[in-house]
């Protein structure tokens, strides 16, 4: 049997575009004499459609799309992902399904069993879990057709309290009883730089456990904050990765099933990439697709002379092209001289248009208007925030007048501790670096500079500062980023209990202060823009916190 | 058996306060010779704790709280709600549990079976569902102890495509086999003005179906956007509501179980209230608790002379007291004269301090700074937004300098169609009216004026306007609110398919335009403040939409 894996970039609700891509892939497969083309999870609708699944119009379109694919399946099998209706009056309205189309008919439908409900996933919200297990017969083969998590049943459900927990059922064990010839796993599994190796190991482990080839088809492309890296895998029955499709790009691959069961040839597994280049590629794809899928074209951002906006600009130029990015430099009385010269140098290196608009006059008008009410109260965070908010007003004015989308350039460290101004530097249509800790922003900058200097060395070397008050430095308020980021990573990504973080040797007061900052600034992050997600726990839809002043009580010792 | 129902206002993570309230209620019950005190769902932790359930520190505190209640249970039964650990390695880490404490021991633990995952609920995210059913023996009685949804098993799961769907299992039917003497239902069921009657009917129907008294204990109090109305119910075996606890206030009620099984006395069911007073009470509680639970005290808001900010101010004065609310009037060149006089009149009637800060100078500085870049481009939404954003900068400056929290005064109609300025009038720590359609804002205003004129008649009578350009009226852009709100209600609350909305007789183009607005402005609402939820479908955590330009495709005909 000859098989084609089609790793494509789908667009939620853009049924026309999704169908066209699928039909083109089937054409390509046909030319290669393939017997079967496999698409990723929910390919006809795009993933994740969230509450669009509650709209009849949306489900109708999914059904139409499947009907439209049927004639294309003449003498070639198509496995497509789609939501399907649950005909029973009990349980959720829908299934998350994989349909095998063949010779104009729906030859088989498989429903997803293990519906993830952790982090960004809400699949129990709309889908009824499958409860019966059968292999899918096709051209003399028996296929164990699984959907994403259904093959991950021995993976930790979620890292709760540091314990790995298992699912209560194993769909693959059920299917194995029917003696399938190989495993197909269609997926929509989002990128997290700290989960890439774990994903590979799932497929390798399953291939070895069941002595079966595993064909994994992941989607690529970004949807708002979620980035799907692709990297679909073909693993032979001995657990060797025989081929891996591209990361962060569409890719189609044709191969003969029998080649996977024979003696393995040379192993084609690519070496595990260092995470920084992957994060860089992920952010470029994320930004590119956010603009493309929202019908946006041009971006504007505030260039402060600091590292965050510099890295954001470099990524934006890669994602959107230098002609589509505009930088605005808005120095205040507290800006250092090199802030402007560094930002200008960067803009010119990247061939990006820029304007310089000092904010002093606007700042003076505000403070003068407020003087009668503030009287002689000393300069404080109020005046710092006024500067940040004036910049947001200017940036949004450019955005409104010229149709730009404002890029938010905050990093994850400052988002975590609330070191930012709501409606000021926290503004933006999308956050480029909001899931990247400050230490990693430096790593990205060095990676961007790997061949030639793009980001001026001065930007990399100066001490971080918001430049909102005289001589201000981040280190006046925050612990050293190298330590801060470690504490944050333990608390946010790993959910490490506070006591255990302290036991690791971090200064107790710094740990408690940091964690209190994180908890007390949930209300700020509630209103943050969507953040491109590159880790296993980003701020946003995957981290749901109540707003309550008291919930740091458990951490008060 | 004498029973006490304790309908209390809990605070998430404030274990000290929650325990103290529970202990006081047990003391009161003891004085009344009660045998059993019943608290609401997740009483020790507060509900909903969301992802705090993933933190070991939080679960440890829940366990400590239960341990601390044990000695209090000497000769009196206590039913308390709490998350408990799942001892098995498979499945989710926690159960949503009701514990019966008696004589210093945990006499029984019941786990929740039907875990809601619709709208704002995410219970499958953290909890493993119960699979075994037993009545709880206590002092010679057999109790069918159920948690919230477990008794709602014949209610629609969610209104998907207008169909009612059922759960696949009925915990109460299982329990009924053990011949219980009565039903307890502990709940944390949030307020929705359009679900009040449906809730009552559940308990009445269940009492009749099983010929058993039903004791429902709901929590009261607000948590961020969610408002819990209380209104706990005691229903006798014939389905008569014998007593209902207060709406929107803490309440404790003691009664004899045998009185419920004898001949019913006079029915004490309160008549169904008109929804406007309930919405008014709900918003006051919501705002009051948001401030109280966040440790905030004082509010500031922009008073435009329009109906939304007027109603918001009146509610804020009720919730926080007139001394804790400050109004700022910020007229521009486009403000009508009466905008200021009406706002002043309202502030004086409500005895609220106010300042008047014209924004013309700041507006001029911005437009002058932008002139070289905007050149001769005509006045458009850019300049309108600059005005709204200058106001936000001023309001936030007051908030920062004096420790006010900014109240957002947008209504649901404008939030729905995106008729508002991000980082401008969409700013705020909490939205008072973001779940109230414009038509209902008028009804609230008339209700506020029911005894004497508080909101000047002129504010009620003038045509709605954002006053951001010369002679601007909402009706220049939007359909009449009476029609708009109906279309929005069908689309958002009822999920009515677009074609069916048109079939109801609304103008097709208006329907399509309205729905396109709703879909195309998801990105704005993504960054909106928390919105006090008073309906079955508010913007925010209960409505999760992907950001994609193309997903109005199904609606293009």
DSSP one-letter string for B471-493: T--HHHHSPPHHHHHHHHIIIII
Pairing status of strand B2-7 against strand B251-256: antiparallel
Structure tokens at A345: 């140098």
Is the Cα torsion angle A8, A11, A16, A17 positive or negative in sign? Answer: negative
Q: Which residue of A has its CA nearest to B385?
A: A397
3 state DSSP class of B170: coil
> Of A446, A475, A504, which one is at a domain's C-terminal end?
A475
Q: Is A124 on the interface with B (CB under 8 A)?
A: yes
Tell me the shortest Cα–Cα distance from A352 to chain B, in angstroms: 16
- Indicate whether A167 belongs to any domain: yes
CATH number, domain containing residue B284 = 3.40.50.620
Nearest to B295 among A92, A385, A549 (CB): A549
Percent of chain A surpassing pLDDT 90: 86
What's the pLDDT at B384?
96
**Is the C-alpha dihedral spanning B317, B319, B324, B329 positive or negative?**
negative
CB pairs under 8 A between A and B: 299
Quick check: B358 and A365 in contact, CB under 8 A? no
Provide the token pair at A302. 């505030």
The secondary structure element, H or E, covering residue A254 is strand A251-256
pLDDT in tens, B347-375: 999 999 999 999 999 999 999 999 999 99
- What was the pLDDT predicted at B557? 39
A357/B369 Cβ within 8 A: yes
Three-state secondary structure call for residue A224: coil
Is A353 within 8 Å of chain B by CB?
A: no
Residue labelled with tokens 């189309």: A101
pLDDT above 60 (res A163): no
A387: nearest CA partner in chain B: B393
B500: which residues sit within 8 A by CB, 6+ positions away? B162, B490
pLDDT at residue A551 above 60? no
How far is residue A148's CA from residue A151's CA, in Å, rounded to a whole number? Answer: 6
- A182-191, A399-408, B214-223, B473-482: segment of lowest average pLDDT: B473-482
What is the end-to-end Cα distance of chain A in Å, rounded? Answer: 64
Do both A325 and A468 map to the same domain?
Answer: yes
Q: Is B229 a catalytic residue?
A: no
Give a yes or no: residue B495 inside a domain. no
Q: What is the dihedral of CA A147, A148, A150, A151, to 10 degrees?
A: 110
pLDDT tens digits, residue range A317-374? 999 999 999 999 999 999 888 999 999 999 999 999 999 999 999 999 999 999 999 9
- How far is the C-alpha of A329 from the C-alpha of A327, rounded, in Å? 7
Q: For position A413, what pLDDT does the model report?
A: 98
DSSP for A290-341 reads HHHHTT--EEEEE--SSHHHHHHHHHHHHHH-GGGEEEEE---TTS-HHHHH
Q: Nearest C-alpha of chain A: how many angstroms from B479?
A: 24
Q: Residue A406 phi/psi, 5° resolution? A: -75, 130
pLDDT bin (cut points 50, 70, 90) of residue A165 is: confident
Q: Which residues lie across from A90 on neighbouring strands?
A: B166
Backbone angles phi, psi at A303, to 5 degrees: -105, 115
* Residue A90, pLDDT score: 87
Domain C-terminal end among B487, B515, B544: B487
Q: Let me know: does A408 contact A431? Beta carbons within 8 Å.
A: yes
Helix (H) / strand (E) element for A36: namely strand A36-38
State the complex-level ipTM: 0.94
Chain A residues within an 8 Å CB radius of B90: 165-168
Token pair in block for residue B229: 């109305």
Backbone torsions φ then ψ of A298, nearest 5 degrees: -115, 145
- Cis-peptide, bond into residue B48, ω within 30° of zero: yes
Q: How far from A137 is each of A141, A145, A182, B265, B280, CA to CA, in Å?
A: 6, 10, 11, 67, 61
A382 to chain B, minimum CA–CA distance in Å? 5
Task: Identify the CATH number of the domain in which residue A199 sits.
Answer: 3.60.110.10
DSSP per-residue letters across B216-274: EEE-EEEETTEEEEB--EEE-TTS-EEEEPPBSS-EEEEEEHHHHHSS--S--PPPPPP
Residue A46 lies in a domain: yes
Which own/partner pairs from B536-541 qualify as long-range (CB within 8 Å, at least 24 positions apart)? B536/B119, B536/B192, B536/B194, B536/B195, B536/B493, B537/B119, B537/B492, B537/B493, B537/B495, B538/B225, B538/B412, B538/B434, B538/B435, B539/B412, B539/B415, B539/B416, B539/B434, B539/B435, B540/B120, B540/B225, B541/A544, B541/B120, B541/B225
Residues A227 and A328 in one domain: no
Strand partners, B543: B540
CA distance B392 to B396: 6
Say if A483 falls within a structural domain: no
Within a domain: residue B60?
Answer: yes
Of A40, A353, A389, the closest CA to residue A215 belongs to A40
* Rg from Cα positions in chain B: 26
pLDDT band at A89 (very low <50, low <70, confident <90, very high): confident
Q: Is B351 left (phi over 0), alpha (psi -120 to 50) or beta?
A: left
Which residue of chain B has the CA closest to A400?
B382
Rg, C-alpha atoms of chain A: 26
Known active-site residue A148: yes
Q: Measured between alpha carbons, how far apart are the two ends of chain B, in Å?
A: 64
Asked whether the beta carbons of B433 and B413 are under 8 A apart, the reply is: no
Q: 3-class DSSP state for residue A475?
A: helix
Nearest to B54 among A160, A361, A377 (CB): A160
Do A183 and A217 belong to one domain?
yes
Q: Beta B404-408 vs B430-431: how paired, if at all?
A: parallel
A327 plus A381 within the same structural domain: yes
Interaxial angle between packed helices B381-402 and A381-402, expressed in degrees from 0 to 180 and rounded to the nearest 10 = 170
Residue B77 falls inside a structural domain = yes
Same domain membership, residue B104 and residue B47: yes
CA–CA distance, B167 with B97 (Å, rounded to integer)? 20
The answer to whether A190 contacts chain B (CB < 8 Å) is: no
Helix crossing, B307-320 with B337-349: angle to 10°?
Answer: 20
Cα A372 to Cα A362: distance, rounded to the nearest angstrom: 17
| pLDDT tens track for A101-153 | 999 999 999 999 999 998 999 999 999 999 999 999 999 999 999 999 999 87
Residues A62 and A139 in one domain: yes
How far is it between the farthest Cα atoms of chain B?
A: 86
**B207 and B321 co-located in one domain:** no
CA distance B111 to B131: 9
Question: Which of the pair, A273 or A411, is modelled with greater confidence?
Answer: A411
Banded model confidence at residue A433, pLDDT cuts 50, 70, 90? very high
Q: Which residue has the tokens 């074609």?
A: B499
Calculate how close chain A gets to B93, using CA atoms only, in Å. Answer: 7
A58 in contact with chain B, both atoms CB, cutoff 8 A: yes
A303/A267 same-domain check: no
Task: Verify that A300 and A193 share a domain, yes or no.
Answer: no
Tell me whether residue B156 is in a domain.
yes
Structure tokens at A380: 């404080």
Mean pLDDT, chain A, rounded, equals 93
Range of the domain at A344: 279-475
B190 touches chain A (CB under 8 A): no
Measuring CA to CA, which residue among B429, B179, B483 is closest to residue B300? B429
Q: Which residue has the higher pLDDT, A260 or B538?
A: B538
Distance CA B487, CA B438 (A): 13
B387 part of a folded domain:
yes
Q: How many CA atoms lie within 13 A of B342 on its CB side?
A: 25
Q: Which of A254, A271, A288 is the last residue of a domain?
A: A271
Does B377 lie in the same domain as B237? no
In angstroms, rounded to a whole number, what is the distance separating the alpha carbons of residues A373 and A388?
A: 21
Same domain, B165 and B120: yes
The enclosing H or E element of A510 equals helix A508-520
- Read off the pLDDT of residues B62-96 as tens digits, 9 standing for 90 and up: 999 999 999 999 999 999 999 999 998 888 999 99
Contact, B394 vs B359, CB < 8 A?
Answer: yes
In contact, B468 and B334? CB cutoff 8 Å: yes
The CA distance from B369 to the nearest CA of chain A, in Å, is 7
How far apart, in Å, are the Cα atoms of A124 and each of A53, A128, A196, B331?
A: 12, 7, 25, 49
pLDDT of residue A388: 98
Chain B residue with minimum CA distance to A524: B429
Q: Is 60 exceeded by the pLDDT of residue B271?
A: no
- The answer to whether A20 contacts chain B (CB < 8 Å) is no
- B112 counts as catalytic: yes
- Over residues A401-410, mean pLDDT: 98
Reported as a single tens digit per residue, the pLDDT across B398-442 is 999 999 999 999 999 999 999 999 999 999 999 999 999 999 999
Across the interface, of A92, A423, A552, the residue whose CB is closest to B157 is: A92
Write B262-265 long-range contacts (CB < 8 A, 24+). B264/B236, B264/B238, B264/B240
Contacts of A382 in chain B (CB under 8 A): 397, 400-401
Do residues B377 and B405 share a domain?
yes
Closest CA to A25 of A40, A6, A42: A6
For chain B, the domain total comes to 2
- Please list, in sequence order, all residues whose beta carbon lies within 8 angstroms of the beta carbon of residue A36, skipping any fewer than 6 positions away: A1, A2, A3, A4, A29, A76, A77, A78, A79, A138, A139
């Amino acid at each position: 049997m000859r098989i084609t894996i089609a790793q494509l970039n789908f667009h939620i609700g853009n049924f026309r575009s999704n169908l066209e891509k699928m039909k083109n892939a089937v054409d390509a497969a046909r030319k290669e004499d393939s017997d079967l083309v496999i698409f990723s999870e929910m390919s006809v609708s795009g993933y994740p459609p969230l509450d669009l699944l509650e709209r009849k119009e949306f489900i109708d379109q999914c059904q139409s799309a499947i009907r439209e694919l049927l004639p294309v399946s003449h003498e070639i099998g198509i496995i497509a992902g789609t939501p399907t209706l649950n005909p029973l009056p009990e349980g959720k309205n829908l299934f998350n399904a994989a349909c095998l189309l063949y010779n104009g008919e729906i030859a088989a439908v498989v429903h997803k069993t293990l519906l993830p409900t952790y982090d960004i996933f809400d699949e129990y919200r709309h889908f009824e879990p499958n409860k019966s297990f059968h292999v899918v017969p096709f051209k003399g083969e028996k296929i164990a057709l699984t959907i994403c998590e259904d093959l991950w049943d021995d993976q930790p459900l979620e890292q709760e309290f540091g314990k790995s927990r298992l699912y209560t059922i194993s769909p693959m064990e059920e299917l194995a009883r029917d003696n399938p010839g190989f495993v197909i796993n269609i997926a929509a599994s989002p990128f997290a730089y700290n989960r890439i190796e774990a994903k590979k190991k799932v497929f390798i482990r399953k291939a070895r456990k069941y002595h079966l080839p595993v064909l994994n088809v992941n989607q690529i492309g970004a949807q708002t904050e979620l980035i799907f890296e692709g990297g679909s895998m073909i693993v032979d029955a001995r657990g060797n990765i025989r081929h891996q499709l591209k990361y962060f790009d569409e890719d189609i691959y044709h191969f003969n099933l029998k080649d996977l069961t024979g003696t393995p040839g040379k192993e084609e597994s690519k070496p595990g990439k260092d995470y920084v280049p992957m994060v860089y590629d992920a952010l470029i794809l994320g930004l590119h697709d956010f603009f493309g899928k929202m019908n946006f074209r041009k971006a504007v951002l505030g260039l402060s002379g600091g590292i965050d906006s510099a890295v954001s600009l470099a990524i934006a130029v890669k994602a959107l092209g230098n002609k589509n990015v505009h930088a605005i430099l808005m120095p205040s009385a507290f800006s250092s001289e090199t802030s402007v010269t560094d930002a200008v140098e960067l803009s010119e290196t990247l061939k990006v248009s820029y304007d310089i608009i000092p904010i002093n006059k606007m700042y003076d008008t505000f403070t003068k208007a407020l003087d009668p009410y503030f009287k002689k109260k000393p300069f404080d965070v109020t005046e710092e925030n006024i500067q940040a908010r004036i910049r947001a007003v200017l940036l949004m004015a450019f955005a409104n007048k010229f149709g730009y989308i404002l890029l938010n350039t905050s990093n994850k460290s400052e988002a975590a501790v609330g070191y930012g101004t709501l409606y000021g530097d926290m503004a933006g249509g999308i956050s480029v670096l909001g899931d990247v800790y400050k230490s990693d922003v430096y790593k990205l900058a060095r990676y961007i500079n790997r061949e030639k200097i793009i980001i001026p060395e001065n930007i990399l070397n100066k001490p971080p500062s918001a430049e909102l008050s005289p001589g201000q430095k981040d280190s006046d308020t925050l612990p050293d980023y190298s330590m801060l980021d470690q504490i944050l990573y333990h608390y946010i990504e790993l959910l490490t209990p506070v006591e255990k973080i302290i036991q690791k040797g971090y200064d107790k007061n710094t740990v408690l202060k940091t964690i209190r900052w994180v908890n007390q600034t949930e209300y700020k992050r509630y209103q943050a823009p969507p953040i491109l997600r590159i880790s296993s726990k980003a701020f946003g839809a995957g981290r749901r916190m109540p707003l309550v002043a008291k919930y740091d009580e458990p951490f008060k010792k």
